[in-house]
Homo-oligomer: A and B are copies of this chain.
């Protein structure tokens, strides 16, 4: 029966391809057309991202109005193409051909992923995309002024409109169990509000007593990081470290912005941004390592996948796992600073020569209940995330009005972290996310990333137990190569849970993360105790 049908399918394929050919060739011709269409789409998206990068780095303020419109036009044209019925037909014709190829092959994966994206995107009306883009651009622009002015009132109408647009987005994917589900699935395919709540419930149960125990000890002294450090030297050092990790500057660069981000324009152009605070040595340094982690993921994707939907990181959570792996698991480890601290001490001799390595290592790993997510330590960071996740779910559910957000923020901070901001600048105005995009699905990825960062690192260590010693020598090639071979190069070929299992041999779990935290903070507590004994000995010699 299938044999008999074949000529018929061939005939349909030939119609698409525009000239007669054997069935196999015809599918290949269609594949060429599919790739052309997807590349055009990728070009439009890249152009929009370049306009966004420019807006966040160098654009003069007078450009803001037109820039919103320009990006909206590009996004609308891209969306029109992404939902073009001719593209849908091409994918439909190619589906069976794709299934005949090895699952892992570039072409099978391309057809599979293009089909999934197409079926998702046709649900979103093009005029919604344009309205959302224009609105988010204007909102982000307003936020860049409102945050320093501590002016939440100005942002209320923006956020209310964002909330409406976010609910509209969800409605296109109805039915769903929770209004946030389409947003969460968009960021972290396969996750839902319910599964994330379960995960976060367990994470919170484990973290709260750890934070409690650490905060009962004397706090680490991080005053050494709060001295005055020349901005240019901080910038240069951060860039140097990113390059040492493996961030390729022939295909990337570092620039200044309000809120650091990483942006991929092509396989050969993946850029990161940072901000520099003269009185916080950690700000530029760790935000650069964080974004370099994202960028190394993007730079490591097989060049053959460039210009297709496979040529990008697979999910926000897996992406965050890489930023957090390089920023925290590697970048805040003792071994890492055994290599880099002498150089940092040379650069900032006056400020850091009185600060021994152990004290510096404790300072950059200080656990404290603090106000700002991006400044938070690895442990309490998760509490910041879970708080935001709860609040955005409540806003989407209609249980929390936008105008009541500052109060709800205050109460949640008090309950979860035991402190609360005195203004909105350090409260609900601090993150760009809700002011530059949808409300919903924006924050859970950070905690998922933390969990996965340790799971990936543990798997790399299992394969190459020498990695910690290499890090002490400033060598990151083995780790980088393992990550590239097992994660990066695949781009979006596999859905997140499949990728995690292929790379680590297990589904996502919390064990590696919790034992990583226990081991690290246990060692830090011992180091502090030892040093205190030393100090006592020095003050009162036997």
Contacts and interface: CB of A to CB of B under 8 A. Distances in A.
Contact of A268 (B40, B51, B66, B73): B66
Interface string A249-274: 11111010000000001111101000
A50 B58 CA distance: 11
Interface stretch (A41-49, A446-454, A502-510, A516-524): A41-49
Contact of A39 (B51, B69, B271): B69
A47 B74 contact: yes
Given A59-B269, A60-B269, A249-B60, A70 B54 contact: no
A241 interface: no
A257 to B, nearest CB: 13
A65 B60 CA distance: 28
A415 B39 CA distance: 51
A62 interface: yes
Contacts of A268: 60-66
Contacts of A44: 73-74, 77
Contacts of A64: 268
Given A69-B43, A77-B77, A60 B253 contact: yes
Contacts of A126: none
B61 A250 contact: yes
Q: How many protomers of this protein does the assembly include?
A: 2
Nearest to A265: B63
A14 interface: no
Interface in A63-102: 63-67, 69-70, 73-74, 77
B46 A47 contact: no
A47 B48 CA distance: 8
B60 A252 contact: yes
Given A50-B54, A65-B268, A268-B60, A43 B250 contact: no
24 contacts: A39-B73, A44-B73, A46-B66, A46-B70, A47-B47, A47-B48, A47-B70, A50-B50, A50-B70, A58-B58, A60-B249, A60-B251, A60-B268, A62-B248, A62-B250, A62-B252, A63-B265, A64-B268, A66-B265, A66-B269, A67-B266, A67-B269, A70-B265, A77-B77
Interface of A: 39-40, 43-44, 46-48, 50-51, 54, 58-67, 69-70, 73-74, 77, 248-253, 255, 265-269, 271, 306-307
Given A59-B269, A60-B269, A60-B271, 12 more contacts: A39-B73, A50-B70, A60-B250, A60-B251, A60-B252, A61-B268, A62-B252, A62-B266, A65-B266, A66-B267, A67-B269, A70-B266
